Structure 1
Amino acid sequence: MGDRSRIGLIVNPSAGRDIRRLTGGATVVDNYAKRRVAECVLQGLGVVDEPPVAMLMPDTAGIAASAAEEVPDASTELLDLPVEGTAADTRRAAEHFREVADAIVVLGGDGTSRDTALECGDVPLLSVSTGTNNVVPTAVDGTVAGAAAALVATGAVDAEAVTTHHGMVEARTASGESITGLASVELSNRSFIGTRATLDPADLAGGIVSRANPADIGLSSVAGAFEALAPDEPDAVGLRLVDAEAAPRTAKAIVAPRMVAELGIEACRRLSPGEVMTADVAEGVLGADGERELEIVDETVEFRTISDGPRLVSFEAVFEEAARSGLLEGG
């Protein structure tokens, strides 16, 4: 295929199907819907005269392979990678795409985008919402995502002009364990991981966010009640939460789909790069982007910002640039 441009496509069959779809009001995104979105992505590549080759991450549900069959005009390549049905699939594919792709399209939620961001390096990332926690991914039509990816991957638009670097955040224990989040890292006062998804607002004890806006979901929404933090700013916001009745101030926030709660705020402060917020934890769980992951006992936890986040593509900026350059005009 010579010097033809390439995009990577990651579809997470598990995204958007956790317990919050049953206990909350979030929309269920089944594998059929994801396959349709993936098909739209492949169709959207045709916006340029020589569409890029789409390299597809294999998945346990066969979503990518089925989408390729439904769009035979698209040039596709199913990667020969192990399939475990875990986050390792996403990270393995992202690591491969870092070396060979000109852009990456991710269909999933914050967790899938985070797993991709940890391995994709500086490759432009287009994150499409098909998950549960959707602070970072955009709710955009798959055809739009595919077209934007094609315009970026082929160089039809200047990637520098349509991308921004999104911050990331980290929690590290005194014993050396760590967890990284794209939008947030949360500290829960639960003693076990359980269903992984954060369900009860009373469980939240604090954490750190890379972006703060009351229109977001989760800890970013809580922080947004007091601080405005854009996703491309290098700072973070750290929070300590307590019982609302004993708190010096409170905030109403959207902590999960169909879940608005009033939380007690003991502290909320902006953290500059290199600045650390610490918490002594007798028993609890650390989570990233709404999913509990790491059980801790008698630990001191340090929360900090990370500067080398993913290079996210702005869909609006791509098409504004394309229109300004006359790329969408007919003959």
Structure 2
Amino acid sequence: MGAHIGLIVNPAAGRDIRRLTGGASVVDNYAKRRVAECVLEGLEVVPDPPTALLMPDTAGIAASAAEEISGVETDLLDCSPDGTAADTRRAAARFSEEADAIVVLGGDGTSRDTALECGDVPLLPVSTGTNNVVPTAVDGTVAGAAAALVATGAVEAAAVTYRHDMVEARTKSDETVTGLASVELSNRSFVGTRAMLDPEDLTGGVVSRANPADIGLSSVAGATDSLAPDEPGVIGLRLVDPDTAPRTVRAIVAPGVVAEIGIEEGYRLTDGESMTVDVEEGVVGADGERELEVVGETVEFRAADRGPRLVSIEAVFDAAGTGVFENG
């Protein structure tokens, strides 16, 4: 049995309201299809390319991309998409059993939905979304080539992947929101457009990575501390009005939006530690999108049990060397 890669394309990624209110770029379905085609073309970097298993989508992006490719065997999963995050999670669950590597085109939300179901299958998130802390801005052909090298065993997966931690918020009524890069709390009373838009809404949360070059709460945390994606522990933040805060930072809170943020507290959480917040009324979000309305709740923020194995594309090509690409 040959190698297989899974390909997930989210047609809704890169299409939210932040295109109107901020500086996020538009990634239309034509652009996504071209990236998907490039991923499939990249599989031909190895002599015996892996079969590509594609998640069907409501916009027909995957099917159209597959029709344009002749050098790689492709197969659409037998499932009917409904245009929600459930499509991604169902496909990721299938790929956890059938694929040797997964390429996902989307933003942090799509990568998170994939990570929740893909198990230990190596994951390559490619940026075609809005909040892009985790997905890499890389050419699709390069991503496809890296996936092929991992899936076929041309490079050892254990040597070119790393475990990316996840974070979660759990209410006293046992509702959970899980994030890949961050879980945020806002003082809004309803989910609304889902996208986190106004930095004044943010009241805190936890992050699994912190760098000022990130976007959102990870950028806020990165202005005060550094936390690598594969580094144990998380950072908890309690935010307040910058006019009354003991400490303020300037951070990139959304595409095209830089704001002054007031920090009341910021600290590392390790070894099962958590940060608890009493919420009269608010919304818990993940990776820049509001998810869960909470009223009269106690919310506990902490590290999640297990995150995905992300592929370091640079490490893949370093490990491959030049010999892998010679024809003889």
Would the TM-score normalized by the shorter structure come out above 0.5?
A: yes
Aligned-residue CA RMSD (Å) = 0.7
2:107 to 109, 128, 133: 109
User: Partner letter of residue 35 of structure 2?
Assistant: V
Post-superposition offset of 1:81: 1.0
Aligned to 2:35: 37
Equivalent residues of 2:44, 2:71 under 8 A apart: no
Aligned to 1:165: 163
Structure 2 residue 100 is the aligned partner of structure 1 residue 99? no
Render the CA deviation track for 1:146-167: whole Å, top value 9, x for unaligned.
0000000000000011000000
Aligned to 2:310: 312
Aligned to 1:121: 119
Structure 2 residue 316 is the aligned partner of structure 1 residue 328? no
Structure 2 residue 212 is the aligned partner of structure 1 residue 222? no
Calculate percent identity across the aligned residue pairs. 76
Aligned length: 328
Equivalent residues of 2:46, 2:325 under 8 A apart: no
Q: For 1:77, what is the secondary structure of its paired residue? A: strand
User: Partner letter of residue 45 of structure 1?
Assistant: L
User: Partner letter of residue 327 of structure 1?
Assistant: V
* Residue segments in structure 1 that go unaligned for 5+ positions in a row: none
User: Partner letter of residue 232 of structure 2?
Assistant: P
Q: For 1:1-331, what aligned pairs fall within 5 Å after superposition?
A: 3-323=1-321, 326-331=323-328
Render the CA deviation track for 1:250-278: whole Å, top value 9, x for unaligned.
01000000100001000000000300100
User: Partner letter of residue 25 of structure 1?
Assistant: G
Aligned mates of 2:252, 2:223 — CA distance in 1: 11
Equivalent residues of 1:110, 1:182 under 8 A apart: yes
Aligned mates of 1:79, 1:186 — CA distance in 2: 34
Equivalent residues of 1:210, 1:231 under 8 A apart: yes
Equivalent residues of 1:273, 1:304 under 8 A apart: no
Post-superposition offset of 1:330: 4.3
Render the CA deviation track for 1:38-59: whole Å, top value 9, x for unaligned.
0000000000000000000000
Equivalent residues of 1:45, 1:146 under 8 A apart: yes
Aligned mates of 2:151, 2:27 — CA distance in 1: 27
User: Partner letter of residue 171 of structure 2?
Assistant: T
Render the CA deviation track for 1:222-265: whole Å, top value 9, x for unaligned.
00011110001120000000000000000100000010000100
Post-superposition offset of 1:73: 2.3
Q: TM-score, normalised by structure 2?
A: 0.99
Aligned mates of 1:271, 1:307 — CA distance in 2: 14
Q: For 1:309, what is the secondary structure of its paired residue? A: coil
Aligned mates of 1:243, 1:60 — CA distance in 2: 42
Render the CA deviation track for 1:3-48: whole Å, top value 9, x for unaligned.
1100000000000000001111111000000000000000000000
Render the CA deviation track for 1:163-196: whole Å, top value 9, x for unaligned.
0000000000011111000000000000011100
Aligned mates of 1:223, 1:188 — CA distance in 2: 16
Equivalent residues of 1:273, 1:306 under 8 A apart: no
Post-superposition offset of 1:321: 0.8
Aligned mates of 1:191, 1:234 — CA distance in 2: 33
Equivalent residues of 2:167, 2:178 under 8 A apart: yes
Render the CA deviation track for 1:271-299: whole Å, top value 9, x for unaligned.
00300100000000000000001000010
Q: For 1:143, what is the secondary structure of its paired residue? A: helix
Post-superposition offset of 1:75: 0.5
Q: For 2:32, what is the secondary structure of its paired residue? A: helix
Equivalent residues of 2:248, 2:262 under 8 A apart: yes
Aligned mates of 1:42, 1:178 — CA distance in 2: 36
* Residue segments in structure 2 that go unaligned for 5+ positions in a row: none
